[in-house]
Chains A and B, each alone.
Chain A
Amino acid sequence: MSAGTLWTVVLVGAAGCYLLKYAGLAVPAAWVQHPAVVRVVDFVPAALLAALVAVQAATSDGALVADGRLVGLAVAALALALRAPFIVVLLLAGGAGALVHVLAG
Chain B
Amino acid sequence: MPRSARSATLRDAIGLGVAVGLYGVAFGAAAVGAGLDPWQALTMSLLMFTGASQFALVGVLGAGGGALAAIGSALLLGTRNTVYGVRLAPMLAPRGRLRRAAAAHWVIDETTAMAVAAPDRELGRLAFWVTGATIYLGWNVTTLVGALGAGALGETAQAALDSVVPAAFLALLWPRLRRGAPEAGVQRRVALGGAVVALALTPFVPAGVQVVLAVVAVALAGRPRTREVTG
A-side interface residues toward B, CB under 8 Å?
Answer: 1, 3, 5-18, 20-27, 29, 32-33, 35-36, 38-59, 61-64, 68-69, 71-73, 75-77, 80, 85-87, 89-90, 92-98, 100-102, 105
Q: In the complex, are the beta carbons of B44 and A10 less than 8 A apart?
A: yes
Q: In the complex, are the beta carbons of B207 and A62 less than 8 A apart?
A: yes
Q: In the complex, how many angstroms separate the beta carbon of A31 from the nearest chain B beta carbon?
A: 9
Dominant secondary structure at the A interface: helix
Q: In the complex, are the beta carbons of A102 and B55 less than 8 A apart?
A: no
Q: Is B190 an interface residue (CB 8 A)?
A: yes
Dominant secondary structure at the B interface: helix
Which A residues are CB-close (under 8 A) to B82? 20-21, 23-24, 32, 41
Q: In the complex, are the beta carbons of B190 and A55 less than 8 A apart?
A: no
Q: In the complex, are the beta carbons of A10 and B43 less than 8 A apart?
A: yes
In the complex, 26 of the A-B residue pairs with CB atoms within 8 angstroms, ordered by the A residue number, are: A9-B71, A11-B43, A13-B71, A20-B79, A24-B83, A24-B88, A25-B88, A25-B100, A39-B224, A40-B218, A44-B79, A46-B187, A46-B190, A51-B195, A52-B56, A52-B211, A53-B173, A54-B194, A57-B166, A61-B64, A62-B64, A64-B202, A68-B159, A86-B20, A90-B167, A100-B159
Q: In the complex, are the beta carbons of B215 and A47 less than 8 A apart?
A: yes
Q: In the complex, are the beta carbons of B67 and A8 less than 8 A apart?
A: yes
Interface centre among A23, A92, A97, A101 (most CB of B within 10 A): A97
Interface size of B in residues (CB-CB distance below 8 Å): 104
What is the CA–CA distance of A1 and B162 in the complex, to the nearest angstrom? 20
Q: In the complex, are the beta carbons of A72 and B164 less than 8 A apart?
A: yes
Q: In the complex, are the beta carbons of B36 and A10 less than 8 A apart?
A: yes
Which B residues are CB-close (under 8 A) to A6? 35-37, 40, 61
Which A residues are CB-close (under 8 A) to B55? 52
Q: In the complex, are the beta carbons of A98 and B157 less than 8 A apart?
A: yes
What is the CA–CA distance of A41 and B61 in the complex, to the nearest angstrom? 24
Which A residues are CB-close (under 8 A) to B50? 17, 21
Q: In the complex, are the beta carbons of B173 and A97 less than 8 A apart?
A: no
Which A residues are CB-close (under 8 A) to B137? none
Q: In the complex, how many angstroms separate the beta carbon of B171 from the nearest chain A beta carbon?
A: 5
Which A residues are CB-close (under 8 A) to B198? 50-52, 54-55
Stretch among B4-12, B102-110, B113-121 lining the A interface: B102-110
Q: A41-B79, A45-B176 are in contact. Are A58 and B40 (CB under 8 A)?
A: no
* Chain B, 200-224, CB within 8 A of any chain A CB: 202-203, 207, 210-212, 214-218, 221, 223-224
Which B residues are CB-close (under 8 A) to A75? 167
Which 3 residue pairs are nearest across A and B when measured between Cβ atoms?
A: A24-B85, A97-B163, A72-B163
Name the CB-closest residue of A to B37.
Answer: A3
